[in-house]
A and B are shown apart, each in its own frame.
Chain A
Amino acid sequence: MNSKTVNYFEASARTRITCLVDTDSFAEICPPHFRHTSPHLARLNAPVAFDDGVIVGRATVAGHSVLIASQEGKFNGGAVGEVHGAKLRGLMERALDERPVAVLLLVDSGGVRLHEANAGLIAISELMRAVLRTQAAGIPVFALIGGSCGAFGGMGIVSRLCAEVVISEQGRLGLSGPEVIETVKGVEEFDSRDRALVWRITGGKLRRAQGEATHLVDEDVHSFRSKTAQLLGAYAEEKLKPAGLAGLTEIQRQLAERTESYAEARDGRIIFQVSGFTDLEAVALMPIDAFNRQLGEAL
């Protein structure tokens, strides 16, 4: 498959892996014929998937060893159940033994799988801890976000724990999703059907301008691959390192500051303005490289 012609948003979780890694380098852990399916879904009489909606394994990207996980957003919204979460956490723990250059999380998830209640919540909290432990051991975790479900709920938090967040314009990142906010607070608070608003608040460009995402890339899988390869090179040569405790404390302080300075902001527009974009109507139509150039000059 030619990764330049494959759209990341439309691709399945398996296709994303195939296009992202070096040809024939992927070896799946817990493959579908092991049938590690969800016991909770079976009990609820709901359809199960052989991989419980996440594919994990090892591969190389531009020659660099990685462990990789890819969530299938089309299976129950990529939601994290007990088995799904255990596969992700197990991958993080494996990283401590195998010491790859990085762990890649291809996030496409609305968060916890509510059918599995506490088991799903526990799985997410275990995953958070595992991500932090892996990074404390010097192995960075990259979140790649560009699927239809974005990265929300617990997976939004997990993504923000990652050393790098690579996002496309279509990608979305947040805690409560637009529909959840509308249901709880009313349509006056957040109209989830207003697509422009949803992307101005949670979309890739806004998240990049805020610094929530570290890199903004084009929609094709090739763009995700080349950015990932470039970052892997930098981490392999130790030009970049995951933040230690002191680094995380500093980030926490900056976030607290940011919360105060944007306390009155009701819309993503103000963030673009502060980031140096003068023509706010043009931001949405701006090509990715022009957007990145503009941001580079402003920051």
Chain B
Amino acid sequence: MEQFVMIFTSTGRLTTSPTPRVCGVVSSGNLEVLVESGDAENSCRIDVSTPAEGFRDIWKAVLNDFVERQPVGGLHVTINDAGATPAVVSLRLDQAIDAFRSERP
């Protein structure tokens, strides 16, 4: 398992601050994403735990795109990966943000 933390600057913020949300399942080729409120207002902290070692540059690229795409300032995102492809990671991250935005589970 490879574990690392990446911190990104992001000034965009979600207007609501609802309860933590989880999206996806830890199964082969999939991942789960937990989104909750973080400590720092203008940054987004992302914790990654992945069984595929040596892909940190690709993670950085995928997460960079995500941070540019979504208003994630003040959020703490935690990822339990089980070998998902970059496209699946991007999809789950967006789904998790959508779930975090909405009032309903």
Contact = CB atoms under 8 A, between A and B. Distances in A.
A18 B25 contact: no
A45 to B, nearest CB: 5
Contacts of B27: 74-75
B49 interface: yes
B1 A72 contact: no
Contact of A33 (B36, B51, B104, B105): B36
Nearest to B76: A33
Contacts of A187: none
Contacts of A74: 25-27, 30
Contacts of A18: 105
Which bucket holds chain A's interface residue count?
Answer: 10 to 19
A26 B105 contact: yes
Nearest to A51: B22
Interface string A46-85: 1111110000000000000000000010110000000000
A51 B26 CA distance: 10
B22 A47 contact: no
Contacts of B105: 14, 18, 26
B22 A48 contact: no
B30 A49 contact: no
Interface of A (DSSP majority class): loop
Interface string B17-53: 0001010011100101010100000000000010100
A45 B1 contact: yes
Nearest to B1: A45
Contacts of A49: 25-26, 32, 80
Contacts of B51: 45-47
A24 interface: yes
B5 to A, nearest CB: 15
A223 interface: no
Contact of A47 (B49, B78, B104): B49
12 contacts: A12-B25, A18-B105, A33-B36, A47-B80, A47-B82, A50-B22, A50-B32, A50-B34, A50-B78, A74-B26, A74-B30, A75-B26
**Among all A-B residue pairs, the 7 with the closest Cβ atoms:** A74-B27, A33-B20, A32-B22, A49-B26, A47-B82, A74-B25, A45-B1
Given A49-B80, A51-B22, 4 more contacts: A33-B34, A33-B36, A47-B26, A72-B25
